[in-house]
Chain A
């Protein structure tokens, strides 16, 4: 019984022997004890030995049973552990994929304007995974996307609100600027009032710039629209008029070009922000130099200050801010003014393709160069810059005191019915009245658009007196048969052709 119980069935002979050992040892001990004790006690000892041996055998059998149980359990457990470990690896992999690929891609799509459901539908699924686990993942993804969506919506709403408010402020500022300009015209004769008005006007322009900045950060255009091109000079002065310390800006040579209407305001705004930076971060006594020169790719506008300059680190950071400007309105940015300005410049540069670089200046400060692309420039209608509202200036006087000839010389075609002193139809020289002879060339050629007001200006009569001498001299020469003096050819060229003309045309007129 002991042996049958102890036998492990051949699978584990060594351990089976181990189980046989204790009962066998017990039996041997019991037998030894029976032989050793006196005969009287022999029966009792034998009984005890038998009982003990049986007990030990039972215990050994039980232990063996349990041992086998443990072995099978361990085996099963190992297999299970393998399965679990494999599943864990898969899940980890899936989670990693979610974090690394799915989520960023989905958020990016969301930011481009897709709806949450669309994005969810397109996410491929992993069949190997436990459905519970996968659905949990999808739920998580959806929750995240919905949160992001809500956040985006909120930001959109905030942007719209900002732009809306900025627009209103801009409208008020613009109205205010117009009113102020009228007041300035009205009270322009009183320097004290005028100065105060200029002060308010300046403050108003600063408010306008802030409103423009907020509008730009909100993804909108800055301020007003210009219908026509504006000369670069006026654009630069416009930028100057929007910063606090415009008096420290020296406007140097400016290329004679104009900026096309739609790009005027962004350029003014970007320059104003750069100028503001330049004046803000340089000592108050120093000057800021503003120049604009033509380069191959357009117009380079340079702003050079004598401030502390940028360390390499600061420059890198600044350029980063300029480059990162594409992301939308960041409410945190609104708290920090300097960064606000650069972010605005960056956004404008991105949208209107201005190239901006910040370099150390020869003065020790920063030289900001903004390159305006060629295609938003055009030839200027007013070289040197236009004057604010002056549609018409008085005409330049046609005749300078000393140089009378060139003006009539440009006459393309004087009135044919004023042949001057030339011969009349009878072949005789005929003197005409002076005024009609002299005035027509002046009126016609010297300044075609604007001569009319000149005629009734008090100073206009100064014009003709230089002519008579020439006129008379030529007359005499004409009489004496000489060809006109080279000095006077200019004058008479203009009259001679038409006079020939009239020589021919007069008879024909008569014939008719």
Chain B
């Protein structure tokens, strides 16, 4: 399909690896364990990648030496968010990475309040 174009100069046969996504996430799609991770959750690695690790996990650990959002990880690995979430859920369980929750919307001041303040200031 049209996405093929991103494959670049290679022949149409030459794209990706021989494995399919379900082997990457070992059959899970994250329907059950995608609780703590959202697109904007920041992930920081707590451990170094070790030899013999699944390459995706090693890559996550390597790139998350500095906080990266789930969305970014997904983009870098070219893996769907669900797959990344499954991988991250496993890593979180093993305490290899930690998740930093994004600022919850409720903590941010109400827009109406801000607007009221702005108007008040303008009216001064």
Contact = CB atoms under 8 A, between A and B. Distances in A.
A246 B55 contact: no
B66 to A, nearest CB: 4
B80 A194 contact: yes
Contacts, number: 155
Interface string A160-185: 00000000000000000111011011
A184 B80 contact: yes
Nearest to B24: A388
Given A227-B11, A396-B65, A268 B18 contact: yes
B18 A230 contact: yes
A247 B29 CA distance: 13
Contacts of B55: 233, 382, 384-387
A184 B4 CA distance: 14
Contact of A389 (B15, B51, B53): B15
A382 B58 CA distance: 12
Contacts of A179: 1
Given A184-B21, A393-B59, A394-B63, A388 B79 contact: yes
Interface in A231-253: 233-235, 237-241, 246-247, 253
A265 B14 CA distance: 12
A188 B85 CA distance: 10
Contacts of A227: 10-11, 13-14
Nearest to A195: B29
Given A198-B29, A237-B19, A240-B19, A226 B13 contact: yes
A185 B80 contact: yes
Q: Is the interface of B mostly helix, strand, loop or mixed?
A: loop
Nearest to A236: B19
Interface in B34-48: 34, 39
Interface stretch (B70-78, B94-102, B103-111, B113-121): B70-78
B74 to A, nearest CB: 7
A462 interface: yes
B66 A459 contact: yes
Contacts of A237: 17-19, 23-24
B62 A230 contact: no
A187 B31 CA distance: 13
Among the interface residues B21, B52, B78, which one has the most CB atoms of the partner chain A within 10 A?
Answer: B21
A97 interface: no
Interface string A368-399: 00000000000000111111111111101100
A391 B79 CA distance: 12
Contacts of A177: 20
A304 interface: no
B36 to A, nearest CB: 14
Interface in A253-267: 253-254, 264-265
Contacts of A117: none
Nearest to A196: B29
A265 B85 CA distance: 30
- Candidate in B72, B76, B81, B82 with the most chain A CB atoms within 10 angstroms: B82
B27 A246 contact: yes
A179 B1 CA distance: 7
A192 B59 contact: no
A268 B115 CA distance: 63
B20 A241 contact: yes
B20 A201 contact: yes
Contacts of B13: 224-227
Contacts of A268: 18
B53 A195 contact: no
A265 B22 CA distance: 19
A286 to B, nearest CB: 17
17 contacts: A177-B20, A188-B83, A189-B81, A192-B31, A194-B29, A201-B21, A224-B13, A235-B18, A240-B19, A254-B52, A265-B18, A388-B16, A388-B21, A389-B16, A390-B79, A393-B62, A396-B62
The 8 closest A-B pairs by CB, nearest first: A188-B80, A238-B18, A195-B29, A237-B19, A385-B55, A241-B20, A459-B66, A389-B78
